[in-house]
Amino acid sequence: MDSSLTGITTTGTPHLGNYVGAIRPAIKLSKKYKSYLFLADYHSLIKVNDPNLIKESSLKIASTWLACGLDTSNTLFYRQSKVPQILELNWILSCLASKGLLNRAHAYKAAVDSNKDNNNDDDYGISHGLFSYPVLMSADILMFNPKYVPVGKDQKQHLEITRDIADKFNKTYKNFFQLPEPIIDESLELLIGTDGRKMSKSYSNSIDLFASEKILQKSINKIKTDSKEPGEKKGTNDSIIFQYFNHFCNENEIKSVERDFEDGIGWGDAKKKLFMKINEEISPLRNKYNELMDNPRLVEETLEDGEEKARKEALENLNQIKEKIGI
């Protein structure tokens, strides 16, 4: 059975955009392939130095995915930090990754460009972790040798670096790694923020995934609309409201919404309908999430079970890799 692997950032609070663009499609994919899903808690150290925040965020993110329906019977669900073989592989791969390759990584280049704009030394404030994170990311992936890795349209470089490093290993030693292929859903549109920009906490335009019904309604009421009055025909192509409907309605429901727009539904009524539709899907997930947050031991046991299986598989792969390199 073909396999896929997905890494999850462990900082921040999940919002509706994360659910639509990452969580929901990844869970759907996990039903098609043997899946590896990990919390990238070592990666979070690049940006976060608060141990309590890292621990709390890991619990929230794990609870989110479980609440959203992740089936751990077909998915290895684990914390990166609990599989030490990944860090061993990280060193092996770092000896094959050229500095020139890492110099071209988007995150590092962006940091250098920012320093230049501020008349600082090119590498001012840049940690080795930021510079070398593509190698650790490659180790995350290649440790389990998956065939597929879901990536966003703007994340293709991440997998290209992994493929370059894997290819270098295969040419230097005997072939071991398959070159992972990207899964990019070109039809998947990201859910934009309430003001029409990219949904982001920094823009204050996001809607928390598990916000209470009252806060969810208030957030939806903030979605930007045009000045057309009730009774005036509403366009769908440039409507943020309609885009939200499109992400939470089936084909027949969308046709009904299109008729409402054609008939000039008032924006207030449209937002009420949108709230009801989103809450219909999110409400049971919210309840499950709250149950899990109230029972962190259950979340911990689920992760520990996945981590035990992940370590066993990783050790088998690492032993084969070590044999190939003469260690």
Domain assignments of the chain as residue spans, ordered by start: 3-190+295-325, 210-289
Instruction: Quote the CA–CA distance of 90 and 161 in Å, as a whole number.
Output: 14
Q: Would the pTM count as exceeding 0.85?
A: yes
Q: Would you say 83 and 159 are in contact if contact means Cβ atoms under 8 Å apart?
A: no
**Running DSSP on this structure, what letter comes out for residue 21?**
I
With beta carbons less than 8 A apart as the criterion, state whether 319 and 88 touch. no
pLDDT in tens, 63-100: 999 999 999 998 999 999 999 999 999 999 999 999 99
Tokens of 163: 């493929």
User: What pLDDT does 12 receive?
Assistant: 79
Domain 210-289: which CATH class? mainly alpha
Nearest partner of 146 among 234, 230, 263, 26, judged by Cα: 26
Q: What per-residue confidence (pLDDT) applies to 193?
A: 94
The whole-number pLDDT of residue 105 equals 92
Q: What is the pLDDT of residue 320?
A: 97
Which numeric CATH code is attached to 3-190+295-325?
A: 3.40.50.620
Length of the chain (residues)? 327
Render 169-190 in DSSP notation, one character per residue. HHHHSS-----PEEE--TTPPP
Q: Residue 154's pLDDT is what?
A: 66
Q: What percent of the chain has pLDDT over 70?
A: 98
What pLDDT was estimated at residue 1?
77
- Residue 95 carries which DSSP code? T
- Extract the runs of DSSP E, i.e. beta strands, from the chain: 3-8, 34-39, 75-79, 148-150, 181-183
Each of the 327 residues of the chain gets a pLDDT tens digit; together they read 799 999 998 887 899 999 998 899 999 989 899 999 999 999 999 988 899 999 899 999 999 999 999 999 989 999 999 999 999 999 999 999 999 999 999 899 999 999 999 999 999 999 999 999 999 999 999 999 999 998 876 678 889 999 999 999 999 998 999 999 998 876 566 889 999 998 887 888 999 999 999 999 999 999 999 999 999 999 999 999 999 999 999 999 999 999 999 999 999 999 999 999 999 999 999 999 999 999 999 999 999 999 999 999 999 999 999 999 999
Q: What is the pLDDT of residue 157?
A: 84
